[in-house]
Amino acid sequence: MRDFLNEKELNTLNHSCAHVMAQAVKHLYPQAKFWVGPVVEEGFYYDIDLGDKTISEEDLPKIEKEMKKICKDGKRIIRSEITKEEALEKFKDDEYKIDLINHFEEGTVISVYSQGDFTDLCRGPHVETVKLCKNFKLIKHSGAYWKGDKNNKVLQRIYGVCFPTKEELEEHLNFLEEAKQRDHRKLGKEMGIFMFADLVGRGLPMWLPNGFTVRRLLSDYITDKEVALGYRHVMTPSLGNVKLYKTSGHWDHYKEDMFPPMEVDEEAFVLRPMNCPHHMVIYKNSLHSYRDLPIRLAEVANDFRFEASGALTGIERTRAFTQNDSHIFCRPDQIASEFKAVAALILDVYKDFGFKDYEFRLSLRDSEDKEKYFGNDDLWEKSEAELRHVLEEMGVNYYEAKGEAAFYGPKLDVQVKSAIGHDVTLSTIQLDYQLPERFELTYVDENGEKVRPVVIHRAILGSLDRFIAFLLEETKGNLPLWLSPKQIIVLPVNNKYHQEYARKVLDDLRKEGFRVELDNRDEKLGYRIREAQMRKIPYELVLGNSERDEGTVTYRQYGQQKQTTVSYDEFVSLIKDEIKHKSI
């Protein structure tokens, strides 16, 4: 996906096209008034007040047609400079422009850009002529509160894109169509993975039978890997006393992202946004020797964060989610080995899922933002130096991101590029000297002294919800066999003659532990095959006379036309091998 924000020429072109769109809107709706029209990651938009008029899908082609006329006319785009007083007079009938102008200091020279009969405030720059904006497309429209404030009027927001050539525009539109087909919200609905309901609450997903199956399999998968590596799994409450979060520092540094407290029996409780405070308390429950460390506590835990309604995105960003979380309590001399072991686990998981397009980001604090982070400078410098040292020992390539650290410590984020061009953080490893101090955690060292452990926070799958969203988009819903909610569908050619054998195959496959169903509806075979393909079921078994008489099955894999006939035992062996090896 092209970078509209950072490619200078593309940015300028899209900014100019936003003005072309505004001019076209003004021609069609003379009452229109304009707020701002910036370039954004997906192209450009303009926020518009159309009075009582609301833009619909049918209006976009009309606006495009007018934009084409403007581009064909080819007016030059001319920059002028005026004083604040002149600007206030020129735009005196437009309260949105007056609001912008009033924020300029006295004496400021203000630039305006004109193209034919349209003039607007703008810093620029712009292209020389509107003729260069001809390769455009209006993508979508929505409502947007003026200044993003829900107490203000809702404006009409129209999004578009513009490219230097027709070929680049077509390539981008094809990419958008592919992204639309891969959208996990669309796939999740079609595949019966999850749903939302206003009656339940915004940002609160409900997992349907197919979705719960995928979640359970992922949870079992990562739990089994962790158990094999010496992790001890725990279960802690989904809420906690406000005092817990004051001790951890979340109350002072994260309160705005938490649900408000509930007062019960003279105690104040909050839904937890993360699990580390609970795990600190579990560690502190027992005495520990240096010989006991590392102690690796893990949990598949439900968490809750009060995300802004505008930020909610399917199951990718929700208010209730489940984390594959762990906290490793170790000695300073164990940091490097534990960190490397976590990184190895991440890479092992990514190999299972076929993830290849990823990079490591060392997320550091912004030392000038004292309010965002807590703890003393010495511990921050120590932990950041430790992470750099470990990464250099590992020999991995990484880049640094100032200001992206957790509020209690630096971290290594694994940034994965999705199939639709999104940069997603799936896994993270954080080094923390701060929480052991705040919770006064100790272990007895070899000299019999009580000293502080170091904590490594880590999430491999991260949020299961976000991981499933990523998987759906990465695979276009064609999940690997071991993870598919329905693995096999049995299709008798004719219910009268083949249903008995189909039911026998169904029962035998279920006894083998496969997730299988029978489609014996009174519909044509071709219809049932097409529907199974739409549901993205990995294997279809078509059973007719020869299969019944010879004890065989004819299978067809999702996305393929080829049909293969094998013995029942051979098919079972094939499926088991594919599941065992987590084949992609």
Report the amino acid identity of residue 454: V
Which entry of 33, 276, 434, 499 is annotated as an active-site residue? Answer: 276
Bridge partners (DSSP) listed for residue 322:
302
Is 126 a residue of the active site?
no
Bridge partners (DSSP) listed for residue 111:
81
Beta carbons of 478 and 558 less than 8 angstroms apart: yes
Which entry of 33, 137, 182, 305 is annotated as an active-site residue? Answer: 305
Is 319 a residue of the active site?
no
Is 17 marked within a binding site? no
Is 133 marked within a binding site? no
Which entry of 323, 434, 487, 499 is annotated as an active-site residue? Answer: 323
Report the amino acid identity of residue 109: V
Is 411 a residue of the active site?
yes
Please report which helix (H) or strand (E) contains residue 65, including its range. helix 59-73
Paired tokens of 407 = 């509020």
CA distance 396 to 391: 6
Which entry of 250, 457, 458, 536 is annotated as an active-site residue? Answer: 457
Is 122 a residue of the active site?
no
Is 388 a residue of the active site?
no
Residues ≥6 apart with Cβ < 8 Å to 436:
280, 329, 452, 453, 454, 455
Is 325 a residue of the active site?
yes
CA distance 412 to 406: 10
Which entry of 126, 327, 331, 486 is annotated as an active-site residue? Answer: 327
Q: How far apart are the first and last CA of the chain?
A: 25
Alpha helices (runs of H) in 254-396, residue ranges in sequence order: 276-284, 335-353, 377-394
Per DSSP, the three-state class of 179 is: helix
Are β-strands 443-444 and 450-451 bridged in parallel, bridged antiparallel, or unpaired?
antiparallel
CA distance 391 to 217: 32
CA distance 255 to 245: 9
Q: Cα–chain-centroid distance for residue 190?
A: 19
Is 122 marked within a binding site? no
CA distance 2 to 163: 10
Beta carbons of 101 and 127 less than 8 angstroms apart: no
Is 457 a residue of the active site?
yes
DSSP letters along 483-502, please?
G-S--EEEEES-HHHHHHHH
CA distance 353 to 583: 8
Beta carbons of 93 and 69 less than 8 angstroms apart: no
Paired tokens of 199 = 């009656």
Alpha helices (runs of H) in 477-557, residue ranges in sequence order: 495-511, 525-534, 545-550
List residues with catalytic annotation.
276, 305, 323, 325, 327, 411, 457
Residues annotated in a binding site for Zn(2+): 276, 327, 457
Q: Binding site membership: which residues?
A: 276, 327, 457
